[in-house]
């Protein structure tokens, strides 16, 4: 199939890495700039996904399965982290009735 645009037939590895950087920085921006604790948590998941993309890109490049396994472990840890983190969010909301991160800045009630 001939493409109208002058695209390379195969994608360079660096494009995947640059995409990963963009996703990671977007997640970091949301982590720093948003107030809602659930959105902040979702931005953490976005950063984890960006790192997973790097692992799998290098796994493909080095023709070794290890990168895929690291990404697999990251997913498992992210699932465990999501369960505990959402339980913490529920507890915070039960005690303070707010989801704004700035209003839960002190440890004491």
Residues 7-66 that bind another protein (CB under 8 A): 7-30, 32-36, 38-39, 41-43, 45-46, 49, 52-53, 56-57, 59-61, 63, 65-66
d(CA 55, CA 84): 25
**Angle (deg, nearest 10), helices 13-33 and 37-62:** 170
Task: Report residue 20 CA to chain centroid gap.
Answer: 10
Least Å distance, CB 41 to another protein, is 8
Least Å distance, CB 11 to another protein, is 5
Looking only at residues 72 through 91 of this chain, which bind another protein when binding is defined by CB under 8 A?
A: 72-73, 75-84, 86-91
Q: What phi and psi, each to the nearest 5 degrees, are found at residue 57?
A: -65, -45
Among 51, 99, 107, 108, binds another protein (CB under 8 A): 99
Closest CA relative to residue 44, chosen from 57, 30, 56, 54: 30
Least Å distance, CB 17 to another protein, is 4
| Residue 109 interacts with another protein (CB under 8 A): yes or no | no
């Amino acid at each position: 199939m001939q493409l109208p645009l002058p695209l390379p037939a195969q994608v360079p590895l660096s494009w995947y890495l640059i995409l990963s950087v963009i996703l990671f920085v977007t997640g970091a921006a949301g982590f720093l700039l948003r107030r809602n604790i659930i959105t902040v948590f979702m931005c953490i998941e976005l950063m984890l996904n960006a790192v997973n993309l790097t692992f799998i890109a290098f796994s493909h490049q080095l023709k070794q399965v290890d990168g895929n396994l690291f990404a697999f472990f990251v997913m498992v840890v992210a699932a465990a982290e999501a369960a505990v983190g959402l339980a913490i969010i529920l507890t915070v909301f039960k005690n303070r009735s707010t989801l704004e991160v700035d209003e839960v800045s002190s440890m004491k009630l």
